[in-house]
């Protein structure tokens, strides 16, 4: 599906997943009979992506063992400092790569291949430097709202607690899934800082950096909101399993 243009995938899989309340890395919890991370790796393979880079940290060797036999490259995020920090660990493996880079999370096992192919297609059709996957959800509380122009370009992502009443009424939210032109990702990652309350490096900051450089940031919308958000607890995992495999 790459249409002559190369596609790489970076999968964030370094977190312990404290809210799962056990010692198993979150991405190794089973969904539909196999580890969550294996579903995401299979999606990357179905996209014919190369390279596929996993950012690992907590119990990295256990994750690698679960994925033995797959053509993957690994980078270590030994001291997690946010999503941009995670992707930055993969930057050396992307130097000189001239295609597009999709950023996925290892705890989003149910996202449909058609959703990702639509995201890549939108990214390439618009010529955007970056494209954000947003979801229409009936209950957006707690999620960052995605505010777009009439033409569908991103105006801003505003956190729930910072949103005005008008913005809180917006049901389009950030899923944390992106596609970037490789050069746009690498150049903007280098400029992300941790000047925030959590002292972390946030990947959405790359979008604002690109916009400040007058680069286009596009938004692809999906109505399949149940399948595009990360799993944080065992209860969420059970609910997702029931919805997908009912």
- Six-digit token string for 171: 């049901």
Give 197's pLDDT tier (boundaries 50, 70, 90): confident
Q: What percent of the chain has pLDDT over 90?
A: 87
Q: For residue 120, report the phi and psi dihedrals to the nearest 5 degrees.
A: -65, -40
Reported CATH class of domain 7-245: alpha beta
The answer on pLDDT for 4 being more than 80 is: no
CA 37/CA 26 separation, integer angstroms: 9
Query: What is the CB neighbour count within 10 angstroms for residue 246?
Result: 5
DSSP helix/strand/coil, 195: coil
Burial 31-57 (b: 16+ CB within 10 A, else e): beeebbbbbbbebbeebebbbbbbbbb
CA 46/CA 74 separation, integer angstroms: 19
Give per-residue pLDDT as tens, 45-59. Answer: 999 999 999 999 999
CA 102/CA 91 separation, integer angstroms: 13
- Is the pTM here over 0.75, yes or no? yes
The answer on pLDDT for 2 being more than 50 is: no
The answer on pLDDT for 1 being more than 60 is: no
- Would you list the domain boundaries of the chain? 7-245
DSSP helix/strand/coil, 209: helix
| Overall average pLDDT of the 80-105 stretch | 97
| Overall average pLDDT of the 149-171 stretch | 88
Give per-residue pLDDT as tens, 19-36. Answer: 999 999 999 999 999 999
What was the pLDDT predicted at 145? 94
- Six-digit token string for 214: 């007058």
CA distances (Å), origin 12, targets 9, 45, 55, 140: 10, 16, 5, 24
State the catalytic residue, choosing from 5, 19, 226, 238: 19
- Cβ atoms of 173 and 143 within 8 Å: the answer is yes
In terms of phi and psi (left: phi > 0; alpha: psi -120 to 50; beta: otherwise), the region of 30 is beta
**Catalytic status, residue 19:** yes
Give per-residue pLDDT as tens, 137-159. Answer: 999 998 889 998 887 778 888 88
CA 6/CA 20 separation, integer angstroms: 36
The answer on pLDDT for 168 being more than 70 is: yes
């Amino acid at each position: 599906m790459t249409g002559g243009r190369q596609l790489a995938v970076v999968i964030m899989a370094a977190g312990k997943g404290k809210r799962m309340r056990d010692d198993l890395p979150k991405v190794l919890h089973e969904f539909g009979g196999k580890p969550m991370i294996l579903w995401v790796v299979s999606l990357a393979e179905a996209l014919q992506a190369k390279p596929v880079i996993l950012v690992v940290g907590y119990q990295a060797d256990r994750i690698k063992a679960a994925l033995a036999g797959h053509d993957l490259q690994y980078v270590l995020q030994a001291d997690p400092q946010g999503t941009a920090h995670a992707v930055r660990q993969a930057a050396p493996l992307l130097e000189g790569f001239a295609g597009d880079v999709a950023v996925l999370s290892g705890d989003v096992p149910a996202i449909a291949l058609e959703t990702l192919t639509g995201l890549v297609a939108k990214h390439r059709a618009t010529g955007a430097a970056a494209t954000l996957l947003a979801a229409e959800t009936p209950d957006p509380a707690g999620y960052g709202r995605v505010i777009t122009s009439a033409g569908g370009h991103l105006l801003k992502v505003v956190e729930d607690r910072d949103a005005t009443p008008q913005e809180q009424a917006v049901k389009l939210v950030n899923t944390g899934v992106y596609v970037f032109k490789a050069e746009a990702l690498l150049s903007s990652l280098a400029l992300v800082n941790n000047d925030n309350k959590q002292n972390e490096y946030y990947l959405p900051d790359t979008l604002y950096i690109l916009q400040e450089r007058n680069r286009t940031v596009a938004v692809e919308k999906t109505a399949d909101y149940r399948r595009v958000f990360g799993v944080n607890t065992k209860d969420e995992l059970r609910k997702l399993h029931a919805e997908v495999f009912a």
